[in-house]
Amino acid sequence: MSKLFSPIKLGQVTLDNRIVIAPMCQYSANNGNATDWHMIHLGQMALSGAGLLIIEATAVEPIGRITHGCLGLWSDENEAALKPVMAAIRKYSSMPVMIQLAHAGRKASSARPWEGGQLIAIKDGGWQVEGPSAVAHGSSESDPLAMDAAALARVKQAFVDAALRSVRLGFDGIELHGAHGYLLHQFLSPVSNKRTDEYGGSAENRMRYPLEVFEAVRKAVPQTTLGIRISGTDWVDDGQPMQANIDFGNKLKALGCDFIHVSTGGVAAAQQIPVGPKFQVPFATQIKQGTGLPTIAVGLITDPKEAEQIIADGEADMVGLARGMLYDPRWPWHAAAELGASVDAAPQYWRSQPRGLSTLFRDTKFGGR
């Protein structure tokens, strides 16, 4: 029996298999509101046969967006725009769906990737960004405002409010974004956190604010599956050490964290990333071994046999695909075919089952002529 296609439980949610569709920013929202693009994009992902869909980084306040086109969940209008998307998914797919709640911090107010991705100045239509310290991400960028007590309280409440909206919308779980150089990661890393108060300095102080945010969200939605995404390394010598990440994970576990999603990088402009197959998996393995929490590994995982081996060898509990799913939205079907497993598929697609793969789709009882 395939390990990749075995079930796993995350908090209150059971996944049919260990394939996770990782959050993929689409930069296609209108003032934070989901559009027809999200209906089309998320609809096809929900019909892919994966075990879990986590929708893109969703800003908890307007200045927390990476770009003007980022999805948001700070207003009634944002919530109303996501409602029909979720309703359509629920009508045609039984796949669990979670949402990633995020704040971009000093990396906000940026152009879309296909427009260059650089910081947009206020005079050019951008906005004033904030961060743990007045330290810009890039040498040519203006410094963010260092967050004061009022800003810290405001953003923490914004995460709570967005989490409550997520529950009302019927999401099966929430992932907080603490990776890729965005706000919670900016507090964790000594690269971006130069504070001298209780939120800066030692690793214990640097993790204080992300832990406060997590705890506040957990208290607000005690029955909801709740996890976090972190960067396992900053890919610079003076970045966040692995032991600090493990300590952070154990503190999260004590607060009721249900899973950790491990990728790398994003906080240091000087990062040097040795990209290659499975290049991020060892970091997920260390987090898994150090915390005992269910762990999602990502990073150029494209081959089904490789994904199977990651699970079988205990390197991670789940594998996440993002770009791979954009390239091949039926990747779970193809993986199941290669590994001798089966997946759920909408009955409208049952007749696509290739000859010789009669057990690929579950419950394919249909007639017709």
How far CA 252 is from CA of 95, 99, 190, 235, 294, in Å, comes to 26, 19, 19, 23, 12
100 bridge partner residues: 57, 175
110 bridge partner residues: 67, 119
From the list 112, 111, 145, the residue with the least C-alpha distance to 128 is 145
Residue 249 to residue 293: CA distance in whole angstroms: 8
269: enclosing H helix or E strand: none
- CB contact set of 288 (below 8 Å; sequence gap of 6+): 260, 294, 295, 314, 315, 316, 317
Give the residue ranges of DSSP H helices in the chain.
36-46, 76-92, 149-169, 183-188, 203-206, 208-220, 242-254, 281-291, 304-312, 323-327, 331-339
Residue 202 to residue 346: CA distance in whole angstroms: 51
Which residue type is seen at 179? A
Half-sphere exposure of 76 (CA within 13 A, CB side): 0
- 199 catalytic? Reply is no
Residue length of the chain: 369
Choice among 182, 199, 209, 327 that is catalytic: 182
Distance of CA 136 to the CA centre of its chain: 24
Which residues carry out catalysis? 182
